[in-house]
Amino acid sequence: MANASPTDIYIALMGVTGVGKSAFISRCTSQTVVIGDGLQSCTSRVQTYSFAYSPSVTVHLVDTPGFDDTNRKDSDVLREISGWLSESYTHKVLLSGILYLHRISDMRMQGSGKMNLGLLHKLCGNGALKKVILVTTMWDREDPAVGEQRERELAATPEFWGFCMQHGSQIRRHYNNEQSALNIISLFVPQAASAAPETITLDIQRELTDEHKTLDQTGAGQILASAWASERAALQQELQEVREAMRSASEERDATMAQLLQEQQQEMNRVIDDLRQEQERLRVTVEQLHAERLKSTEEMLFQQRSINQSLSQDLERMRLVESDRQAEIERARNEQPTAEEQADWDSNFPWRGQTFEAPTRLSRAAARFQESERGRMAVNAGVAAGKVKARVTGESVNLHSGTRVGSN
């Protein structure tokens, strides 16, 4: 990050899980990016993928986890994204823009989508929304006329994309191919080849780094805190109703119902406690976020070194196996009879012109035969009786009858 060229372009990708962020990156970079199935996120950390847009311009696509991540709490996702943004800001590496991806195949804006949009507003601030491109995806899964109607509705509704567009955001369509993706990227590339790209500073970067706020004091942190407060209030109301139902069940001596209500109460208390812990996890400074990222990076490097070591050991084992195989081939090649040995063989076995073959000096079967007393007598006598009509390739041969008698 610290070695970025002045012409490098950094673009962040945001959106809920399964909108096609990883697929978009694959189209641009020709790199293999693990793609989720729409239910499980494959992006748990902020990751950067780079490619040469032109000989003088390198584009870095910054993939971010969604706030509906199946494997991480929203507080952890905000810590991860905020940590990367504040660290890049400290190193004077600024974004040129943000792509916010949305499935046009979605029949309605889900709660997670609204949450992501609210956080996008607060992460960016009104001034940076002019560098946000609202990208619709999955056009191949929807009737074009229906998709166009949904796109108009998104643009016309202030709670959806209307607010962003009032502050300069644009809408673009991605048709899941390379040219479509690069056309969107081109919106951030300067016309002059050597010109530095325009950059933006996000509100979250100023709040954490310049104003020294803790994460829960930022606009994005307060969005999450407000959502958690509403959820806790609703749970507290339900919990009160469950307690009243438990008293009624106890009075009516309904032990089964009382047990079920008690289990429900325990689960609701657990969820309320989880929400409280999420709020606590946002009480972190930018220094703590950077230390957390450093530790996480070191752990990843350690894991990668372990993987590399294991791969090296596997490769060494494969090399040794191949070396043994080549040595065996070389030994077999060296065992081919010389011209003199072949001539000697021919003189001892004048019937070689029939079906007898001697591909090596001596097969193990023939060697065992010659070492026997019977074999020596047969060779010395010129094999007066019978003819050999067999291959000496691991089979015993009855020299008197000329028939095979089985494999050794």
CATH code, 16: 3.40.50.300
Residue 2 covered by a domain: no
Strands (E), 29-164: 47-54, 57-63, 97-103, 132-137
Residues 150, 246: one domain? no
pLDDT for residue 66 is more than 80:
yes
Angle of helix 111-124 relative to helix 219-251, nearest 10 degrees? 150
Q: pLDDT at position 71, please? A: 72
- Find out whether 193 and 57 touch, Cβ atoms under 8 Å: yes
Residues 106, 129: one domain? yes
Residue 312 covered by a domain: no
Residue where one domain finishes, among candidates 212, 232, 260: 212
Q: pLDDT at position 58, please? A: 93
Question: How many percent of the chain have pLDDT more than 90?
Answer: 39
From the list 115, 24, 105, the residue with the least C-alpha distance to 69 is 115
Indicate the SS3 state at residue 284: coil
Residues 59, 88: one domain? yes
Residues 198, 70: one domain? yes
- Is this structure's pTM higher than 0.75? no
Q: pLDDT at position 390, please? A: 41
Question: Of residues 271 and 331, which shows the higher confidence score?
Answer: 271
Q: pLDDT at position 375, please? A: 52
Residue 196 covered by a domain: yes
- Find out whether 201 and 129 touch, Cβ atoms under 8 Å: no
Residue 291 covered by a domain: no
What is d(CA 53, CA 181) in angstroms, rounded to the nearest whole number? 11
- Which among 27-41, 46-60, 343-357 has the top mean pLDDT? 46-60
Residue 368 pLDDT level (bands cut at 50, 70, 90): low
Residues 109, 201: one domain? yes
Residues 244, 378: one domain? no
Residues 386, 265: one domain? no
From the list 64, 8, 6, 60, the residue with the least C-alpha distance to 31 is 60
Residues 173, 237: one domain? no
Residue 179 covered by a domain: yes
Q: In the predicted model, what is the mean pLDDT of residues 352-364?
A: 49
Residue where one domain finishes, among candidates 249, 281, 313: 281
Residue 4 covered by a domain: no
Residues 180, 268: one domain? no
Residue 290 covered by a domain: no
- Find out whether 122 and 220 touch, Cβ atoms under 8 Å: yes
Helix (H) or strand (E) holding 407: strand 403-407
Neighbours of 381 (CB within 10 A): 9
pLDDT for residue 182 is more than 80:
yes
pLDDT for residue 291 is more than 50:
yes
Residues 194, 241: one domain? no
Name the domain count of the chain.
3
Q: pLDDT at position 339, please? A: 72
pLDDT for residue 207 is more than 90:
yes
Question: Of residues 95 and 348, which shows the higher confidence score?
Answer: 95
Indicate the SS3 state at residue 24: helix
pLDDT for residue 362 is more than 80:
no
Residue 297 covered by a domain: no
Residues 379, 403: one domain? yes
- Find out whether 119 and 127 touch, Cβ atoms under 8 Å: no
Residue 288 pLDDT level (bands cut at 50, 70, 90): confident
Q: In the predicted model, what is the mean pLDDT of residues 146-162?
A: 94
Indicate the SS3 state at residue 403: strand
pLDDT for residue 397 is more than 50:
no
Residue where one domain finishes, among candidates 212, 238, 267: 212
Domain span at 76: 9-212
Q: pLDDT at position 307, please? A: 64
Q: pLDDT at position 408, please? A: 42
Residues 229, 181: one domain? no
What is d(CA 305, CA 8) in angstroms, rounded to the nearest whole number? 29
